[in-house]
Amino acid sequence: LMGPDGSLGVTIFEEITTLANQHQAINLGQGFPDEDGPAELSRLAQEAIARGNNQYAPGKGILDLRNAIAEHQNRFYGITLDPEHEVIVTTGATEAIAAAILALTGPGEEVLTFEPFYDSYGAMIGLSGARHTTAALLAPDFMPDLATLENSFSPRTKMVIINNPHNPTGAMFPLEVLTEVVRLAIKYDAVILTDEVYEHLTFGPTHIPVATLPGARERTLTISSAGKTFSFTGWKIGWLSGPAELVAAARTVKQFLSYSSGTPFQSAIAAGLRLEDDYFTDTAATLAHKRDILGEGLRAAGFDVYLPQGTYFINADTQKMGITDATALARKLPELIGVAAIPVPVFCHPEGALRTRSLLRFAFCKKVPLLEQAAERLATLK
Ligand code: PMP
Ligand code: GLN
């Protein structure tokens, strides 16, 4: 059972958050906001609990939320979905990822991800028994080399996983890159699993859902999550949409992972998905300001900074500061200066880990004064 570091072990988020708590450090490691999402959604969930909405939800999610997901995909992207057969609610995006990979891939097959890759892809591909192949995202813009991308595909490629906007790099794939991935997925008859949990956390480029590209829809499963869009990461409400037969396969596995997902949160998230456009644009604008504050702080502290186009993560390179091993630094940082960050090599296989060995990922979904305090502490690294 192989995760990115050769075992399923303890996730890097758990490890670094524990260290951060031990040393009362500012935790810019694990990505979670330090403020709740809209009070109105929180109130709706509390009312649902008070009303006695506390028993199992239908396995595929309550109809109101499945309708709201379909409406959201139509309103923002012009994608039409049948809420009965083409949408399921999951226990966070994490469960959607697990269900799709376990349902659709297995021994003798390959699953291709870009590298660095979000940790649960590696763990779930390991559990499925498939072989995990990778295509490198290269600094400074963290794009794949389109001239050689086809070398990462083979007749055994059963699935290609796209994560756009991308964790941990913050890159957003432009149309040209998405078009090439879709072309290759069609040529090698691979399913596309696209993790778009940061779809609304973007700072310039418009998010392009893979499912909107010609020829993609019939082979694409799209994942998103209320955790990111509405700042309720602890509610663990996510969803998966796509062609009925692929969704049905994932649902079969979901039955035995969680059976169903948090009932009182589902109607609240349905209301969230129906919020006015302002909510979505304001959330992104607030986050862009935070990105700039932390980016400036990291630059002043001597890091080379890669400002992200989306997500709530900044990658910072330590090489110029005479530090080559970001993983060792991340383990010392909470005690050393009271700031925690995630080393990027943990999102890679060994070769990619070498390529990213001096990169740290900092989360900026925190209150401005805390980011300013983190910047002051980082400045003492010099
Ligand atoms: N995919 C990506 C790319 C993520 O960054 C995260 C969590 N930050 C998830 C999936 C998991 O989402 P959830 O918390 O909804 O399970
Ligand atoms: N996805 C969040 C991150 O990348 C953390 C999720 C987790 O702790 N598994 O920081």
Shortest-distance Cα residue to atom 8 of ligand 2: 13
pLDDT at 3 over 50: no
Assess whether pLDDT exceeds 60 at residue 4: no
Ligand 2, residue 94: give the atom nearest the CA.
9
How far, in Å, from the CA of 94 to the mean position of ligand 1? 6
Token readout for 160 is: 């290609």
Assign 178 to helix, strand or coil. helix
> How do residues 87-103 score in pLDDT, each as one tens digit?
999 999 999 999 999 99
Among protein residues, the one with the nearest Cα to ligand 2's atom 3 is: 31
The Cα–Cα gap between 128 and 126 comes to: 5
**pLDDT (0 to 100) of residue 331:** 95
In the chain, % of residues over pLDDT 90: 96
Q: Whole-model pTM?
A: 0.97
Mean pLDDT of 41-67: 98
Looking at all shown ligands, the one closest to residue 12's CA atom is 2
31 lines ligand 1 (CB under 6 A): yes
Q: How confident is the model at residue 83 (pLDDT cuts 50, 70, 90)?
A: very high
Q: Is the ipTM of this complex over 0.85?
A: yes
pLDDT of residue 9: 82
Which CATH architecture does the domain made up of 12-36+278-379 adopt? Alpha-Beta Complex (3.90)
Output the CA 117–ligand 1 centroid distance in Å. Answer: 12
Residue pair 132/105 in contact (Cβ under 8 Å)? The answer is: no
- Mean pLDDT value across the chain: 96
The structural domains of the chain, with segments of one domain joined by +, span 12-36+278-379, 40-274
Instruction: Report the pLDDT value the prediction gives residue 183, as an integer from 0 to 100.
Output: 98
User: Averaged over 275-297, what is the pLDDT?
Assistant: 98
- Give the pLDDT score at 172: 98
Per-residue confidence band for 382, with pLDDT thresholds at 50, 70 and 90: confident
User: Which atom of ligand 1 sits closest to the CA of residue 226?
Assistant: 15
Q: Is 170 in the pocket of ligand 1 (CB under 6 A)?
A: no
Place of tokens 């696209």: 194
Spatial distance between the Cα atoms of 186 and 355, rounded to a whole number of angstroms: 30
- Find the distance separating the first CA and the last CA of the chain, reported in whole Å: 41
Which of 90, 197, 200, 237 to mutate to test ligand 1, by most ligand atoms within 8 A of the CB atom? 197
Q: State pLDDT tens for residues 301-329.
A: 999 999 999 999 999 999 999 999 999 99
Place of tokens 């300001």: 289
**What confidence score (pLDDT) does residue 227 get?**
97
The pLDDT, as a whole number, for residue 7 is 61
**CA 162 distance to own-chain centroid:** 10
CA distances 207 to 112, 175, 211, 232, 353, Å, are: 22, 10, 12, 21, 28
CATH 3.40.640.10 fits 40-274, yes or no: yes
Identify the nearest ligand to the CA of 18 by its number: 2
Q: What is the pLDDT of residue 47?
A: 98
| Dihedral of alpha carbons 104, 108, 113, 119, sign | positive
What pLDDT, on a 0 to 100 scale, did the predictor assign at position 268?
98
* Ligand 1: residue whose CA is nearest its atom 3: 167
Pocket test for ligand 1, best of 17, 201, 228 (most atoms within 8 A of CB): 228
**Where residue 1 falls among pLDDT bands split at 50, 70, 90?**
very low
Nearest to 358, CA basis, from 373, 343, 346, 347: 343
Q: What is the pLDDT of residue 127?
A: 97
The ligand whose atoms approach the alpha carbon of 201 most closely is 1
Decide if pLDDT at 63 tops 60. yes
pLDDT recorded at residue 8? 72
β strands within 120-196, DSSP E: 131-136, 157-163, 191-195
Express each pLDDT in 194-246 by its tens digit: 999 999 999 999 999 999 999 999 999 999 999 999 999 999 999 999 999 99
